[in-house]
Chains A and B, each alone.
Chain A
Amino acid sequence: MTNPLIVVRNVSKTFSAAAGPFTALDNVSLDIDKGEFVIVVGQSGSGKSTLLALLAGIDRPSQGEVHIGGTAVHSLSERDMSSWRGGAVGIVFQFFQLLPTLSAVENVMLPMDFTNSWPANKRRSRALALMERLGVADQADKLPSTLSGGQQQRIAVARALANEPAVLLADEPTGNLDSRTANAMLELMSSLVQDGQTIVMVTHERSARRFASRTVTLADGRIVANDDA
C-alpha cells in the first residue's frame, strides 16, 4: 500500500475578525492519493477555499498538519514556502489571474522563470507544448484581455502545469465561465487526471461530480461527507 500524496491531519483555521474570531475549518483530516481527482463542495463560508489555501501553502493552519509529497507544508518558512509552492503545486484561480501585461505564452513561462526550473532557452517551447495540449497554442502571443474567459482559463491551467507540479489546485475554475465552456474545462481536468495528474478542485458545479474520483463535502468547517465516485 502506497502513502497518500496529500495528508491533512486535524487541521483547524481560525481568522480574527472585527466581530470576533471565526473558525473556517474545524479539526479537518483528509488523505488524497496520487492521481485522484477530488472535488470539494459546500455552501459559501463552509471552508472550501480555506482548505485549498492551506493545501497550496497560501495560508497556514492554526492547528494541525498538512503534508504534501512528504513535505510538512505547515512548518515551512515563508521563503521555503515560495520555492516549494513553485515546484510542488499549480494553482488555478476563479478569475484566471493572468498578468495583463504579459502575453499568453509569457504567462505560462512565468513560473519556470521564477523557479528556474527549466533552461531559459527551453521555456518557451515547453510553454507552447502545454498550450498545444490545452488547445490554446494559437493564442500564444495575444494579451489576456483579448482572449475569451475559456481561453484565459486554459492558459491559467497551462501556467499551473508549467513546473510539472505534483498537485493541481483549482479554486472554482469554472465559476466565471458559461456552462459549455465550464463543461469543456472539466473534461480537460479529467483528461489531465487520466494522464496521472492529481487534482483538488473547489467547485459549486454539480456536473463536476461525474468527472471526479471523490467528492468531499464541507459544512461549517467540517467534512460532512467523503464519497468515492
Chain B
Amino acid sequence: MVASLRTTMRSPRWRKVVGDLWLHKARTSLVVSAICVGIVGAGSVLNAWSLLRRATHDEFDASNPASAVLRVDSVDEALLTKVRALPTIAAAQGRRSVLGSVLTSTGWKTAALTSMNDFAASAIGIIKPGQGAWPPSNAGIVIEHSSVDYATVSVGDSVTLRYGDRAGRAVPVRGVARDVGLAPGWMEHTVYMFATPAMLSSLGAPSTMNELQLLVRDRTLDRADVQVIARDVQKLVESEGHHVSEVSVPVPGRHIHAAQIESLLLTQGAFALLALLLSGVLVVNLISGMLTGQVREIGVMKAIGARAGQLVTMYLSLALMLGLIACAVSLPLAALLGRLYAEFTAGILNFDVSAFRIPWWAFVLQFAVGALLPVLAAAIPVARGCRISVSEALRDNGTAIRGESDGYLMNIRGVSRPVLLSLRNAFRRRERVVLTLATLSIGGAVYLGALNLRSAVIASVDLAFSSQQFDVVFRMTRAYPVDSMVAAAITTSGVSAAEAWTGAHAAISTPDGALNSRFAITAPPLNTAMLKLTIASGRALLASEENELVVNRRLLADEPRLAVGRRVTLLMDGRVATWHIVGTTDTGLQPAAYTSRETIEHLTGGVGATSLIVAVNATAPAAKLALVRQLRSDLVDKGFDVSSSQSMAEARSVLEDHLLMVAGFLGNMSLLMIVVGGLGLASTMSLAVLERTREIGVLRAIGAKHGAILAMIQTEGLVIAVLSWLLAIPLSLPMSIALGHAFGRVMMEVPVRLLPNGPGVVQWLGVVVAVSLLACTWPAQRATRITTAAALSCE
C-alpha cells in the first residue's frame, strides 16, 4: 500500500499539484494565511473555552463548593454535629471572615482573612495548597495565590496586619494556597489570607465561627431543592437558639463568574466564526483566482486526455493540501494562543488551567474545519473550472471583463486618466471587490463599535460615580453620634465637607421565614449633598412614614422581587420590616440599595452612624492620599475606632479594571477582522495583477514608468480601503448595538452609544490606509517586475 501510494504520488499529475503549490508560493501563502487566520481565531477561542470549561467545572467541582452558606451568630461543634446528622447533609463546617488591613510596599491595603478551626479537615470549598506551608498556623498566615502579586509579598516575608485601629502586628507569610471560589485579589484590590482563630484573636478581631457552610449529599439537586434543604437547616439552627441573618444558595456546581465568561467566550466565538466564514470566502476568491490562471492548463490537460473528474480530484486535492499546510501552522498556534488566553481568563476566575489538556475533540474539530474549509470553498469554482470546454479553455487569456459597462468611471471630470484607470480597475471583478469591502468594512465596524462600547462603559462609570460626590469613606467598628463624627472630620485642614452615614445588610424574608442572599443598604441623611442618585425608574427617596428603598439595577437583576412599586419583607439586623421599593438607579456592578439614615434610625430606634463620608479640597492623588492618612490619624486621636477606609478613586479603578478589560476583549476581535480584511485586499490586488499581466505590459510599452504602475496598483487598493471605511461608519451602528448587548450579558447594561466616535473614525481611516498600502506592496512590486516583452508574449 505504501509502495502504491508512493507510485501514485510520483505520477506526473500529483507532481503537478505539488509543483503548482510551490510555483505560486505567494498565492499559496495567501490562501494558507487566510485559512490560518480563521482557524487560529476560532480555534484559540474554542481551545480556551474547552480548557476553561474543564477547569471551571472539574476544578471547581473538585473543591466541593458549598451548596449553601448560612450566616449565624456563632457556629460551635455541638451545632455542627446536629447539622451533620441530617440525612440530606454530606458535610458541614464553620468559618469566619474578617476584614482588616495589610501594609504592603505601596501602603495599606484591604485584607480579607478567612479562618476555621481545622483547615486540614476542611471538606467544603477545599483550598489547594501551593508553595510553602499549609495549613496556616498560629505562627503565620497563608496568602491566597491571586493576591501574591497585588500584596508584593513572598513566602518567608513578614507582613504587618491590622484589625480596625488596633496596633499592627508583624506576621510571617508561611505559604501560598488557591481558593477557586474567590474572585482574584488583584482585581478586587483585596489581599486574601488564611489564618487560625488564634491569629485573628491576636489581632484583636472576632474569632468565633459565624458562617455555616453546607454540602448536600445529593450533588445532582438543583438550586430550588438545595434551598429547601437550607431552609430545613435554618430551622434546625434557629431551634438550637441561634440567630440566622442570611441564607445564600448559589447555583449548584456553577462558579459565580462562569456565566459571564461563557457569554464572553461565546461572543468572541461568534466573531471568530465570522472571521472564519470570511476567510472561507477569501479562500473561494483565491482558489477562483488560482483556477483563472490555470484555465489554459486545464484545456491542455483535457486535450491530452484528462477527464473532468480527474481534474476535479487534482484541484480538490490541491485545496486539501492547502488546508493541511494551514492546519500544520494554525493548530499549534491556536493551541498556544488558546492556552495563553485560557490561563489569562482562568486567572480572572482564580483557576489554574495548567493541569488540563485541550480535549482531543477540539483538535479534531479544528483539523476537520481547517482541512475541509478550502475543499468546500473550492468545490464550486473547481467544478465550474473543470467543466469548461477544451476550446473555451484554450481561447482563454484571462483578461475578459464580465459585467456591465463601467464607462461612466472613465468620464469623471478633473481626474487624471491613470487615476480613472485605477478607479475602473478597482471595480472590474465586482464579486471579489464586494468580498474585500465586506471583510474590511466589518472589521471597521467592530473597531468603531468597540470604541463606542469603551466610551459607553466610561460614561457609565462616570454616571455611577457622578452620584458619589465625595472622596473617601471611613468605616467605624461601631456607631457614633452623627454630629461628633462630622465635627471631628471637618476640623482637619483640607476637608471640604463631611457627612455621617449608616448602613445595614438585609435579606428578603419569605412568609415561611426562609432567607435569601444579603445585600448592602447604604443610608445617607435624607438631605444628603454627597449622594445624588440618578433615578432610572420610579422616584427618589422622600420623607415618608414608610420604609422606602431605591435599588440599583444590578440588585434588581439578581432579585426581581425588588421591582419598583413592590412591597417586600426584609430581615435587617434581626428586624423584620416591610419596605416599599420606590425607584431604581445605576451604581455599578455590585448589588446595592439605598434608604435614608432617618429611616434606619426610625426602624432600629438607634441614633448614630457607622460611616464617615468626606470630600477633600486636594485633587492630586498623592495629596489626597496624604490628607486621608492625616484625617484617619486625627479621627483615631479623637477616639474614633476606624475599621477601614476606601477612596473613591480606588473603587473606580476596581470597577474600570473589570469593565474595560471585557470591553477590550470584545474590541480585540477587530484585530482578527483587520488581518482577514488585509489578506483579502492583498489577494484581490495580487490576482488583479496576475490577470492583467498583458495589460500592464501594454501600459509599459506605451510609456508607463515604474512609479506610474506602482501608483496605479496602490490607488486601486486605496479606493477599496476608503470605500470600506465609508461603509464601516454606518455598519458600526448595528455593531455597537450588538457589542453593547454582548457586554450587557457579560457585565452590565450600558447605554449604547450609536454615533461613531470622531477620533476613532479618523484612526480607522489611518488603519485601513496603512493596511491597504501594506497589502498592495507585494502586488505593486510584482507589477513593476513584469517586462514588456514577457507580458506581451504571455498567452
Q: Which residues of A contact B (CB under 8 A)?
A: 53, 56-59, 78-79, 82-83, 85-87, 90-91, 93, 95, 97, 99-102, 106-107, 109-111, 113-115, 120-121, 159-160, 162-163
Contact = CB atoms under 8 A, between A and B. Distances in A.
B391 A82 contact: no
B12 A109 contact: yes
A187 to B, nearest CB: 24
Chain A binding surface SS class = helix
Given A83-B307, A114-B304, 13 more contacts: A57-B390, A58-B390, A58-B391, A79-B307, A83-B305, A85-B302, A85-B303, A87-B305, A95-B795, A97-B296, A97-B300, A102-B16, A120-B7
A113 B308 contact: no
Nearest 7 A-B pairs (CB), nearest first? A86-B305, A101-B19, A106-B12, A58-B390, A114-B305, A111-B304, A114-B306
A102 B306 contact: no
B490 interface: no
A100 B12 contact: no
B308 A110 contact: no
Interface string B294-313: 00110011111111101000
B356 interface: no
Contacts of A53: 391
B706 interface: no
Contact of B13 (A79, A87, A91, A113): A113
A110 B303 contact: no
Interface in B363-401: 389-391, 394
A113 B300 contact: no
A83 B303 CA distance: 10
B544 interface: no
A102 B19 contact: yes
Contacts of A101: 15-16, 19-20, 22-23
A107 B12 contact: yes
B220 interface: no
Contact of A114 (B22, B307, B389, B390): B307
B305 A102 contact: no
Given A95-B795, A97-B296, A100-B23, A111 B305 contact: yes
A126 B389 CA distance: 30
Chain B binding surface SS class = helix
Interface string B627-665: 000000000000000000000000000000000000000
Contacts of B306: 82, 86, 114
A79 B309 CA distance: 9
Interface in B1-30: 7, 11-13, 15-16, 19-20, 22-23
Given A106-B12, A106-B15, A99 B300 contact: yes
Given A101-B20, A102-B19, A110-B13, A91 B391 contact: no
A153 to B, nearest CB: 14
B305 A59 contact: no
A58 B305 CA distance: 11
B308 A82 contact: yes
B390 A110 contact: no
A86 B394 contact: no
Nearest to A162: B304
B10 to A, nearest CB: 8
Given A106-B12, A109-B12, A110-B12, A163 B391 contact: no
16 contacts: A56-B303, A57-B390, A58-B303, A58-B394, A59-B390, A59-B391, A78-B308, A79-B307, A79-B308, A85-B304, A93-B394, A99-B301, A106-B12, A110-B304, A114-B304, A115-B305
Contacts of B13: 110, 113-114
Nearest to B304: A111
A114 B310 contact: yes
Interface centre among A53, A57, A97, A101 (most CB of B within 10 A): A101
Contacts of B302: 82, 85
B301 A110 contact: yes
Contacts of B22: 101
A82 B302 CA distance: 6
A56 B394 CA distance: 13
B225 to A, nearest CB: 68
Contacts of A59: 389-391
Contact of B305 (A78, A82, A97): A82
A66 to B, nearest CB: 14
A110 B12 CA distance: 6
A119 to B, nearest CB: 10
Contacts of A95: 795
A171 to B, nearest CB: 9
A120 B11 contact: yes
A35 to B, nearest CB: 23
Contact of A99 (B297, B308, B389): B297
Nearest to A109: B12
Given A58-B391, A95-B795, A82 B19 contact: no
